[in-house]
């Protein structure tokens, strides 16, 4: 079954923005994901949010992930795409790529 493999490439942090806009101390890079973490989309069509994946990050990249899971191309390029979540203070950058596993379709 075709799915999308999502790998965490980088966690960014903009301290100057955090100092100006975040009202609590000890704010830093995203603490939900780490560089090198790998997630695989799921569901009967291979296009559902991976377990343990950040909901807000999924909303930002789900169109590209779903396109790759369905065998399509993002911007007409190969089966790899770089995307990021839309958090302006501590965004996470992902590598999305088509992924095929041996799992059979459930129908």
Q: Is residue 106 part of a domain?
A: no
> Whole-number mean pLDDT of the chain?
91
Q: Is residue 40 part of a domain?
A: yes
Q: What is the mean pLDDT of residues 23-30?
A: 90
Q: What is the pLDDT of residues 35-78, one digit of tens each?
A: 999 999 999 888 899 999 999 999 999 999 999 998 888 877 77
- What is the pTM for the complete model shown? 0.89
Q: Is residue 34 part of a domain?
A: yes
Q: What is the pLDDT of residue 50?
A: 95
The H or E element spanning position 27 is none
CA nearest to 92, candidates 32, 22, 5: 32
Task: Find the domain containing 27 and state its range.
Answer: 2-100
Q: Is residue 105 part of a domain?
A: no
Structure-token pair, residue 98 = 């088509």
How many domains does the chain fold into?
1
Q: Is residue 81 part of a domain?
A: yes
Q: What is the pLDDT of residue 106?
A: 56
């Amino acid at each position: 079954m075709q799915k999308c493999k999502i790998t965490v490439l980088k966690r960014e942090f903009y301290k100057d923005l955090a100092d100006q806009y975040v009202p609590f101390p000890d704010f830093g890079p995203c603490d939900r994901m780490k560089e090198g973490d790998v997630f695989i989309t799921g569901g009967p069509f291979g296009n559902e949010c991976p377990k343990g994946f950040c909901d807000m990050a999924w909303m930002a990249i789900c169109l590209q992930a779903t396109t790759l899971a369905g065998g399509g191309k993002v911007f007409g390029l190969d089966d790899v795409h770089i995307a990021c979540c839309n958090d302006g203070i501590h965004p996470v950058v992902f590598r999305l790529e088509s992924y095929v596993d041996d799992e059979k379709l459930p129908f």
